[in-house]
Structure 1
Amino acid sequence: MNFSPPAQIGGVPSVSGVSIVTVTATDPGGLFVSTTFSLSVLPANASSGFAITGVQTISCVTVSGGRRWVSFIPQYSGTDGSPVSFSVVNELLPTTASGPYSLTLYTDNPTLRLRAQQGGSQASYDYNWLGACSAPARQGIAEPGTGLQVRVLGNPVRGSHVEVEVRGVTGQSLSAQLIDLQGHRLGVERIERAGNPERLSLPIDGWVGVLLLEIRTATERQVIRLVQP
């Protein structure tokens, strides 16, 4: 297999298996951004039926030394339009929600067994989430002049609201949501046309511990860890 700029991977694979691929783009000023995805090569005689062929890792946030918050989407082949029931062994009960799925995981268990069922067909996949998290990334990092810039005005957060300042996305629509470490969304605020800066005040009354703040536009996304003592 070989890569042909700007965006083509081609060739005839010599072996089957799953590889973690990291793509990095660097501008003339030396700033860079990376993303990671799984590339799956099925055996030549593999069934063309329903299967989990890979996983797209959306984000990976360090909660503590041995704990990560991971958001991901499984990728399927052979779907027929009927509901897919998805689960993660010992981590997530079966659900027909389409994802992305969010889990709090420990680094001493680096591989998840994913399972999916469509009608009478079942599929499984071993997802090396820690390998995907270890690849270079820029999740949650804001730098001047690079588009979406997010600043929390006070972290650890004290009081009933978290105050956030967003820059670099003037006129764009954006959403802000708080997520707990079990992946539950605690509230969403949407702005149709952002100012510069755009100030947000998100309620967290009664919450103690760690939350994740996700700021998203149509093309950019950042996740920031919040602490409420």
Structure 2
Amino acid sequence: MTKLSVNINKLATLRNSRGGNVPNLTQSTLDIERFGGQGITVHPRPDERHIKYQDARDLKPIITTEFNIEGNPIPKFVDLVLEVKPAQVTLVPDAVDAITSNAGWDTIKNQAFLKDVITTFKEHNIRTSIFVDPDVKMVEGAVATGTDRIELYTEAYAEAYAAGNLKGIDPFVVAATKAQEVGLGLNAGHDLNLENIKFFKENIPDLLEVSIGHALICESIYLGLENVINLYLHRLK
């Protein structure tokens, strides 16, 4: 079964909008795990507009599933990951002012940089994953960085699926097959939702984990958090 890691950034955005502690991220995390979530993802950005760096520190002692911290490996982020030591770190090439992640790494041009960062994390027994576009060359380039996994950036698939174009999954199948061939674990995330996740899961070989936040929280407004998590788990079987 593909694991569901719930990204709680949007809960932090809601909390920060009023300046208090509602929703409480600690309680929300415990509830997500109790409802069946198999991992918790946070993506702190330099301006801390949703997840704060302190949130990552506060959540680590209570998480009993897998803790995944995403972000651009600037020095402040690297220091946080080495302090918290999550189960997994996912490296994302976000610009400082990016609203959300919008591209994968060029694993060829950034190979030396990524290799250096990944070596540091793996020395501390932290599993590493690199955010990449569904491009065979980028998958092949990831191998030389020493990463354990890649995470396919799935926005293009989600847009194609919404438009009724099922062929939009083809580049992802090719990239996933290449990851399988070269021995990389495979994660996926971005714009996956209850509508498109089942088709994606059925067609992508050896999909280990999906990270879903924005859609899951939006769907929960209508259907309830516990119900939505279980709907995802059913589709990911």
TM over 0.5: no
* Rg larger for: 1
Q: Highest relative contact order (Cα 8 Å, sep 6+), 1 or 2? A: 2
Which category of TM-score, normalised to the shorter sequence, fits these structures?
Answer: under 0.3
Q: Report the structure, 1 or 2, having the larger strand content.
A: 1
Q: Report the structure, 1 or 2, having the larger helix content.
A: 2
Output the TM-score relative to the length of structure 2. 0.26
Output the TM-score relative to the length of structure 1. 0.27
